[in-house]
Amino acid sequence: MADLTQSLTAPAPPAGALRRLLRRKLALFGLAIIALVVGGAIFAPWIAPFAPDEQLFEGLTLFGEPMPPGGDFLMGTDLLGRDLFTRMLYGAQTSLLIGVVANGVALLIGTFVGVLAGFLRGWVGAVLMRFTDLMMAFPALLLAICLAAIFQPSLWIVAMVIALVNWVQTARVVYTETTSLSEREFIAAERTLGASRTRILFKHILPHLVPTLIVWGTLGISVTVLLEATLSFLGVGVQPPTPSWGNIIFENQTYFQAAPWLVFIPGAAILLLALAFNLVGDALRDVLDPTQRGND
């Protein structure tokens, strides 16, 4: 493939694409939020005012109630008197890992299965797609619980479990797209030019799947973050006291009336992160599409 990349008329250099991306206000907003969250997660040990599992004496009122946001505690404290801001920072590590890595792996598996089935068709395609259907029919949560119960629950295991149950939708969509793409006339034209199957696949089918993958990838982030929360709630996810945005919500949801910030803040964080990825993904899709050139 080496000579493909340096082929004569290189399509728009990446620098140009980045510049066009940065020219979009919404994309810039999304990028800023992502940078904020990533920065917070990486530098958590230095930024965080307390330790994530430290139960502070002054973190609870005299009646043992959590402290609302303000004063020493930027986002208030939780039921055990732990600083919520600290836990949000450390939780970002977990949630980003799940949202980006687990979701990314799911996307990769789904794309691989979908493209293979759609491109090869025949019995290979039939077997792959029937397996996908089987996975789809199987309750994802039940499967996740089984898998998590077999392995010792840890962050990486949870990420893997989520990847293993979340690839099916992507595979379905990619399969449909690939089959319709391979029916297109320019693929027939490539075949008459004598192009090999790998060339058709990598040079002419995969680039057309990018927009779909971007949309599915960004939509998947919020889904996986919430799935992790569900697993944590059921006790098979990330184990306490390790914080994640999802399990902060689930730990505190019963006290929603008394301490709404404990649910609102992590909820808003998940929403914002998902939104940010969506905005960037959308912009990226338009920027990378040569047929949209000049529309921005």
Partner 1 sequence: MTTAQSATAPSGAADPLLSVRDLTVTVKDRGIIRPLVADLSFELAAGETLAIAGESGSGKSITSLAIMGLLPNNVSVTSGQALLEGTDLPSLPERQMRAWRGARVAMIFQEPMTSLNPVHTIGSQMTEVIRAHEAVSIGAARAASIEALRKVRIPEPERRMKQYPHELSGGMRQRVMIAMALALRPSLLIADEPTTALDVTVQREVLELLRDLQKETGTAIILITHDMGVVAECADRVVVMRHGRMVETAPVNQLFSAPSHDYTRALLAAVPRLGTGARRAKPLPPVTNAPVAKLVNARVHFDIGANFFGRPTHRVHAVEGISFDIRPGETFGLVGESGCGKSTVAKSLAGLVPHQGHIEVDGQALTALTTQGKRDICRNIQMVFQDPMAALDPRMTVGEAVSEPLLIHGIGTAKERHACAAELFDRVGLTPEQMSRYPHEFSGGQRQRICVARALALKPKLIICDESVSALDVSVQSQVLQLLEELQRETDVSYLFISHDMAVVENVVDRLAVMYLGQIVEMGTRDQVFGDPRHSYTKRLLDAVPIPDPARKRQPYARPTTEIPSPIHRIGTPPDRLKLHNVGDGHFVADDH
Question: What residues make contact with partner 1 under the rule CB under 8 A?
Answer: 3-4, 6-9, 11, 184-186, 188-196, 199, 203-204, 207-208, 289-291, 293, 295
Q: How far is Cα 195 from Cα 188, in angstroms, rounded to an integer?
A: 10
Min dist CB 180 to partner 1, Å, is: 13
Q: How far is Cα 36 from Cα 45, in angstroms, rounded to an integer?
A: 15
Q: Number of C-alpha atoms within 13 angstroms, CB side, residue 235?
A: 1
Min dist CB 211 to partner 1, Å, is: 10
Ramachandran assignment for 55, one of left (phi > 0), alpha (psi -120 to 50 degrees), beta (any other): beta
Min dist CB 94 to partner 1, Å, is: 37
Closest CB to partner 1 among 7 and 152?
A: 7
Q: Is the peptide bond before 290 cis (omega within 30 degrees of 0)?
A: no
Residue type, 173: V
Closest CB to partner 1 among 88 and 205?
A: 205
Closest CB to partner 1 among 176 and 292?
A: 292
End-to-end CA distance of the chain: 31
Contact 102, 113 (CB under 8 A): no
Contact 94, 151 (CB under 8 A): no
Min dist CB 12 to partner 1, Å, is: 9
In this structure, what token pair is assigned to residue 93? 């590590």
Closest CB to partner 1 among 11 and 240?
A: 11
Closest CB to partner 1 among 109 and 206?
A: 206
